[in-house]
Amino acid sequence: MTAPPPSPDPARGLFETLLVAEERPVALARHLERLARSARDLYGAELPPELAVEAIAACAGVSLGRERIDVSFEAGRAREWTAVAVAIDPAEFFPPWERGAALRTVAAPDWSGAHKLADRDWLERTEAGLGAAVPLLLGAEGAVLEAGRANVFAVLDGVLATPPLDGRILPGTARAAAVEVAGELGIEVAARPLSAEDLRRGGEVFLTSSVRGIRPARSLDGVELPGHATTDRLAEALRRRWLED
């Protein structure tokens, strides 16, 4: 029997990753709200008031990129923090179907959770072992949790379904934005438990993350996943929102 993955170590602090568009950190307020909530819940600490200003300043000169904010804590206060932004390959941003993810199911009970902890050692080892494939993390009872570094959506019988925020998955900022955009497009959304079999029988599966945006999933455990029409509609609307906001 494979041993369950170790839980991430909170002592290593928290982090956030943000999209940078035209020297601007996209959805900065949402990211800082999530970071502040985790800081209070896990460490009884508040974020340093200058963090927002530093996060904005770090994006200078970056037209399209990724920003990472790291915060460590000690004795109920923020000890150290950094904000660093780097350029990304435009092909990583809202990648087309041809660059979609090949998902591989991985048992990960109790590993993921509602806080973005800096300790990602187990995930990084898992990703290295999968090569180009993306881990699809499953809970103890086989429920779909996350895709390693992204939230998961599936189109089932015309309804856009995504795992519920039950404390076992990260409340992704891109997840929230995708739900909002779906509502604007008149697409019904349901937060409900999903299994790998649900994803296999669904018409479409896609991943959401704050830097890539929406990424189609092309296969699951080697089985091709059909269709991407709804994914394309959502991707175009969310991309426009992020770049024009």
Q: Where are the domains of the chain?
A: 10-91, 93-244
Packed helices 173-184 and 229-244: angle between N→C axes, nearest 10 degrees: 110
The alpha carbon of residue 134 and the mean position of all alpha carbons in its chain are separated, in whole angstroms, by 13
> How many other CB atoms are there within 10 angstroms of residue 190's CB atom?
11
CATH topology of domain 10-91: D-amino Acid Aminotransferase; Chain A, domain 1 (3.30.470)
3-state SS, residue 52? helix
pLDDT tens digits for range 103-155: 999 999 877 799 999 999 999 999 999 999 999 999 988 999 999 899 999 99
Residue 3 is predicted with a pLDDT of: 64
Considering the four listed CATH numbers 3.30.1240.10, 3.30.70.20, 3.20.10.10, 3.30.465.10, the one that applies to the domain covering 93-244 is 3.20.10.10
* Mean pLDDT computed over 86-92: 95
CB contact set of 127 (below 8 Å; sequence gap of 6+):
134, 135, 148
The per-residue pLDDT of the chain, averaged, comes to 94
3-state secondary structure of 180: helix
**Helix residue ranges per DSSP H, the chain:** 28-43, 51-57, 121-130, 173-184, 196-201, 229-244
Summarize pLDDT for 15-44 with one digit per residue, the tens: 999 999 999 999 999 999 999 999 999 999
